[in-house]
Amino acid sequence: MANKVERDEVTGVETTGHEWDGIKELNNPLPRWWVLVFYATIAFSVVWWILYPSWPTLTGYWGGILGSNQRLDLDRRMAEARAAQAQWLEKIATLDTEAVAADPELLSFAMRGGEVAFKENCAACHGLGGAGQFNYPSLADDDWLWGGTLADIEQTIRHGIRFYDDPDTRDSQMPAFGDILEREQVEDVVQYVLSLSGRAEDGEAAARGSEVFAEQCAACHGDDGRGMKELGAPNLTDGIWLYGGEPQDIRAQILKPRHGVMPAWQTRLEDEVIKMVTIYVHNLGGGE
Ligand code: HEC
Ligand code: HEC
């Protein structure tokens, strides 16, 4: 039955001889345009195989007679980009950060390079854009523990803070006052520190605390509590807190101070990268 040519009665078209539930399939020829396009794509692919990398061979692959190859193109473009960067990096290597920042073209290159390096190396602690987080200072305000000039920032980044593998690291230790002060003196000085940002709960205690402060704290935090950058002692008057500004936070720092550690980058990042990230941090919004 399948071999017998059968014609549909209505259209007169041959059927394929297949039948499902009384429905027969007509054997219409493919449209001519479709067949032509089909042959054209085959011809096109043959030409393409010859021109471009295509078939695997026993030892590798057919490379195409045009010699075009996106992987090689990419390598070439990367090499070009590196060569272009090298020019900028060489200049940055010979200049100090002040001079780099003074040249608008170098500055914009350094800002981009610095941003990438910051995201890779610093954002984990300091937050994206240097926004900071609890225990890690914001680098985007104009409040600096250790100083916000280009030179200060570069020094901090190169040698770190309390990072004793580096002999030039920034260092200072706030003493633990639990053994030095009486319990009441601690409470008094907590009130005094609160009063520096207008938040004392007990004025008399704060007044007593001011004497304790002058004796025990002013050497590092300054007579007026505005801090001292040579020692990384924070300004206690500005409402910006590294370890929190509530009475219990201040008490905790007095009794059992934290000593923030920041790694030194001198040995981990290339010289040019340190300069670029210095300039980036300086430009985050709070450079001095
Ligand atoms: C492991 C966490 C960590 C990483 C990573 C880190 N820092 Fe820090 N950084 C700190 C801490 C903690 C401090 C504050 C130390 C202190 O208490 O004085 C700090 C302080 C600083 C300061 C001084 C801020 C001031 O107010 O004077 C600068 C500048 C700085 N970091 C830049 C960077 C840069 C740039 C990078 C990336 C190359 C980086 N940091 C990576 C933890 C980190
Ligand atoms: C030897 C210097 C030194 C002395 C003395 C000292 N401090 Fe500090 N203090 C520091 C340093 C440095 C820090 C920052 C610690 C860090 O970055 O980890 C600090 C941090 C603080 C903080 C935390 C500030 C914040 O932003 O969270 C408070 C509060 C504070 N000190 C209060 C006092 C009081 C009160 C006294 C006196 C009883 C005192 N300090 C004596 C050096 C000192």
Ligand 2 nearest atom to the CA of residue 172, by list position: 12
Low-confidence stretches of the chain (pLDDT < 70) are 1-4, 286-287
CA gap 121, 132 in Å, rounded: 14
Ligand 1 and 232: CB distance under 6 A: yes
Report which protein residue has its CA nearest ligand 1's atom 32. Answer: 157
The pLDDT tens digits of the residues spanning 68-98 come to: 788 888 999 999 999 989 999 999 999 999 9
Ligand 2 and 231: CB distance under 6 A: yes
Given this model, what pLDDT does residue 4 score? Answer: 66
Closest CA to 220 of 209, 211, 233, 207: 233
Do 47 and 41 form a contact (C-beta atoms < 8 A)? no
Amino acid type, 136: Y
Given this model, what pLDDT does residue 1 score? Answer: 47
CA gap 32, 243 in Å, rounded: 80
CA gap 124, 268 in Å, rounded: 16
Given this model, what pLDDT does residue 37 score? Answer: 97
By most ligand atoms within 8 Å of CB, the mutation choice from 121, 125, 242 for ligand 1 is 125
Given this model, what pLDDT does residue 167 score? Answer: 96
Do 240 and 196 form a contact (C-beta atoms < 8 A)? no
Given this model, what pLDDT does residue 188 score? Answer: 98
Ligand 2 and 259: CB distance under 6 A: yes
Distance between Cα 214 and ligand 1 center (Å): 29
